[in-house]
Structure 1
Amino acid sequence: MIKLWLNGEQITSEALNLKVFLKEHYNDSASFAVAVNEYFVPKFDYENIELREGDRVEMVVPMAGG
């Protein structure tokens, strides 16, 4: 288990990479952008991003409006 931050809240996770982490916490059909430690991560790279103790994951979900 590692402790990391998700949208400003500290959580624990057993996920080894970003792809597994996102499957644990978000619906596959949801649209969002992801940043880890303030760096945008393209979707094709999720599996290659290893999560470590203290990492900061930010999820940005698009909203309609004007």
Structure 2
Amino acid sequence: ISINAQGALFLDAAPVSLAELNTRLNTIEKTQAIVFSVDKKTAFGDFVAVIDSLKSRGLEHLTIRTESAT
């Protein structure tokens, strides 16, 4: 999962809405490791929305990678 500075979400490099992401997250095993890449200029609220989606589904094997803005 990645989110850019403008708040656009991507799953496996394909753009998705938060609703689409939530639907796809429902199919992931709870033990699946997830990497969440976040641009350092991403709005905090956008970041929290994804974290909330993950946690509400019990997906807590999470690595957060911060990317520098370019």
Q: Fold match, TM over 0.5?
A: no
Q: Normalized per residue, which structure has more strand?
A: 1
| Greater relative contact order, per chain length (Cα 8 Å cut-off, separation 6+) | 1
Q: Normalized per residue, which structure has more helix?
A: 2
